[in-house]
Structure 1
Amino acid sequence: MGRLLVILLLPFSWLYAGVMAVRNWLYDRGWKKSEAFAVPLLGVGNLRVGGTGKTPHVIWLVEELLRQGHRPAILSRGYGRQTTGPRLAGPADSAATVGDEPWQYFGHFAGQAVAVAVAEKRGLGVRLLVETHPEITIIVLDDAYQHRAVRPTLNVLLTEYARPFYEDFVLPAGRLRESRSGARRADVVIVTKCPVGLTETAREVIRQRIGRYSRAAVPVLFSGYDYGAPQALVTLPETNGNEVMPGASPLPTPGPALLLTGIAQSGPLREYLDSQGYDLRYHAHFADHHVFQPTDFVALRQHWQPGWPIFTTEKDATRLQAAELRPALAGLSIYTIPVRVAFLGTGAAALRQMLPGKRAIAP
């Protein structure tokens, strides 16, 4: 966004920020109800609209909670789903019924007894989870930093290294959902998508800048991404048609490739593929949470040649499983790139110590 346009939009940003400030003040004063629950709630969110890495951080947290002996659950709004109200994810669901990120969680933790639910009103979602799964010991709230009707036990704020909240403006001049002062609600701040070689000197500068807005002594941690080996999506014939699902296939070799994404920030994935020797000849880039249509793959096929891999994200793959897309995907060599969080320095150990109700780790 150009500097002149930012200046022109700033009055509207101030107005929006003022409305959000009044809302937060009412919650802080107790005039708007913020509900606490007996089960600990671990909130994960951001100040910025999209693209800070919430999904891989939620997965890291849930995997860690499982390792510590917890029975965790995940609660999300279910953005972009075609249903409303509180809903437990089940085998008959899809990205269309629960949202792409919750459906990704459901698939990732299949067989590990991690309940996944969606609800616009998080309080109703918490009640649904504890009533249907009384064994739950902690609930991870995905993207609920501004949903103040529930009170997290631990509030985790994510901010992207390349686009930190302290350099951004409130909508529409920038991408913040509320003013920078919202960082005061965080119990820990994680700077995401950091380069591996980020020096301690550079980290300290970032800590100081975040410290202008966060509470005193709130830890600031740093994380990057680890990318796994490509996982093939294959088309398997069945009596009721074809189903797109993960499967075994020879790994693609460096060379010409295509990229298909419907996420907020695809830059880190592009950089990773470049570093692995892939020559991206075409990038079919769509908006975050894009609902793929068969026509979306016409241009992709025009740029594709047999033998060229088409890379996508695990989140996008949840939406590629829609039945109406099967004919359009037939024959294409599509691979997902698993993304996992890797903390810099002692960040992982520090975050483990902050988790509510931490239990002894079995040897």
Structure 2
Amino acid sequence: MIHVVRWLLLPVSLLYAAVVWLRNRMYDLQILKSTSFDLPVVVIGNLAVGGTGKSPMTEYVLSTLKQRRNIAVVSRGYGRKTKGFRIVKTTDQSVSVGDEPLQIKRKFPETEVIVCEDRVLAIKQLRDTVDGVLLDDAFQHRALKPSFVILLFDYASLLQPILPLPTGNFRDTLVESRRSDVIVVTKCPDHVDPSVKSVIASRLSRYSHSPIFYAKTAYGHLKNAQGAHFDDKLLADTHVLLVTGIANPKPMASYLTQRVKNVKHLRYNDHHHFTQREFTEISNTFRKIGREQKIIVTTEKDFQRIPSSFLDRHPVYFLPIEQAILFGEAPQLNTEIEKAFQSGSVN
């Protein structure tokens, strides 16, 4: 039924695509002005709505550079209840700064993480104190002209028709990929057939000559609030209550289903702010799992939104993920990232 309704909205999608196209051309023709800076400003973005792995890619970039660069991360802080420029601290709550910026700050405590709706304003306040700026999800923020763009595509989305919102999931047309400097196709299967890889490369090369890299989601060890790992040897006999508030939890659910005794899934919307009533629901659902060997598992992003009072009373673990670059091409991507933070302003 949902698919039928989305197709009925195709005229709205065409109108949306026309408006987006016109807006982009106005920036290209400098009718609408973009601001550039005399320091590296690297954007990680996508054309679709959510779910392409921007946060893991942000962490990948920081892991590549953190020992050699003083890089600040700037994010809108989606879902936060505050406004304006704010420096993220490890002790913050997700409602104040957003779950993804808080996750990055806690994982990279030495990195300056900022949330601000106005990215240009944020960079103006940072530019005298950092060597470069990394922006999460700012591809459509055309008031800012980056020096380098890492554009992400979900693997499955490139094997389907590219349709604009609301019929499809794309907020920009494929032609905008020409503004990229590097393209990373994320969430690939373990083995990408060469013929499929060729189809994807052919589709993207119509608009962009940027190098294309392929990445899969690599899962780490289950970890709790104290940083202790769950014993992998016990997984096969463990019952899991999976709690997610992300755009696409299916890969994670599938991963766990193959490794644990049983998975019961409570699914919420992306960036969902859990209420006390919902925590009670989670607690009651967990209690009804009539097995001794049981745990609650969530994503690292959702983990930032769970209060310590709940964590103290339940065995909650999060499953870390990272981008694993395929075909042995991580060194080439790392070289591109290094070059990105050596570049200067955009003319």
Contact 2:76 2:119 in 1 (8 A): yes
Report the identity percentage. Answer: 35
Write the deviation string for residues 249-288 of structure 1: whole angstroms up to 9, x where unpaired.
65353232110000001011112112223410x2110000
Contact 1:165 1:180 in 2 (8 A): no
Write the deviation string for residues 298-335 of structure 1: whole angstroms up to 9, x where unpaired.
333333245311110110011113x6xx2x55522111
| Number of the residue aligned with 1:237 | none
Give the whole-Å Cα distance in 2 for the aligned partners of 1:173 and 1:250. Answer: 42
> Greater shift after overlay, 254-263 or 162-171?
162-171
Task: Indicate yes or no: 2:104 matched with 1:105.
Answer: yes
Give the whole-Å Cα distance in 2 for the aligned partners of 1:147 and 1:297. Answer: 35
| Number of the residue aligned with 1:316 | 302
Select which of 292, 299, 313 maps to 1:331. 313
Write the deviation string for residues 69-102 of structure 1: whole angstroms up to 9, x where unpaired.
1111100001111111111112442211111100
SS in 1 for 2:66: helix
| Number of the residue aligned with 1:307 | 293
Write the deviation string for residues 223-264 of structure 1: whole angstroms up to 9, x where unpaired.
00111111023xxxxxxxxxxxx3436535323211000000
> Greater shift after overlay, 178-187 or 221-230?
178-187
Give the whole-Å Cα distance in 1 for the aligned partners of 2:42 and 2:33. Answer: 19
Contact 1:165 1:176 in 2 (8 A): no
Give the whole-Å Cα distance in 1 for the aligned partners of 2:228 and 2:66. Answer: 27
Give the whole-Å Cα distance in 1 for the aligned partners of 2:176 and 2:202. Answer: 16
Contact 2:235 2:259 in 1 (8 A): no
| Number of the residue aligned with 2:69 | 70
1:239-258 equivalences in 2 (<5 Å): 246-248=226-228, 250-251=230-231, 252-254=234-236, 255-258=238-241
Gaps of 5+ in 2: none
Taking structure 1 as reference, are residues 250 and 145 closer, same or farther at Cα in structure 2, changes over 3 Å only? closer
| Number of the residue aligned with 1:241 | none
| Number of the residue aligned with 1:21 | 21
Taking structure 1 as reference, are residues 165 and 25 closer, same or farther at Cα in structure 2, changes over 3 Å only? farther
Give the whole-Å Cα distance in 2 for the aligned partners of 1:31 and 1:211. Answer: 28
| Number of the residue aligned with 2:150 | 156
SS in 1 for 2:276: coil
Give the whole-Å Cα distance in 1 for the aligned partners of 2:15 and 2:164. Answer: 9
Give the whole-Å Cα distance in 2 for the aligned partners of 1:352 and 1:358. Answer: 13
Tell me the amino acid that sits aligned with residue 215 of structure 2: S
| Number of the residue aligned with 1:236 | none
Contact 1:86 1:128 in 2 (8 A): no
Task: Indicate yes or no: 2:184 matched with 1:197.
Answer: no
CA RMSD of aligned residues (A): 2.0
TM-score (norm 2): 0.90
Tell me the amino acid that sits aligned with residue 38 of structure 1: D
Gaps of 5+ in 1: 234-245
> Greater shift after overlay, 122-131 or 12-21?
122-131
Write the deviation string for residues 94-116 of structure 1: whole angstroms up to 9, x where unpaired.
21111110001110001xx2100
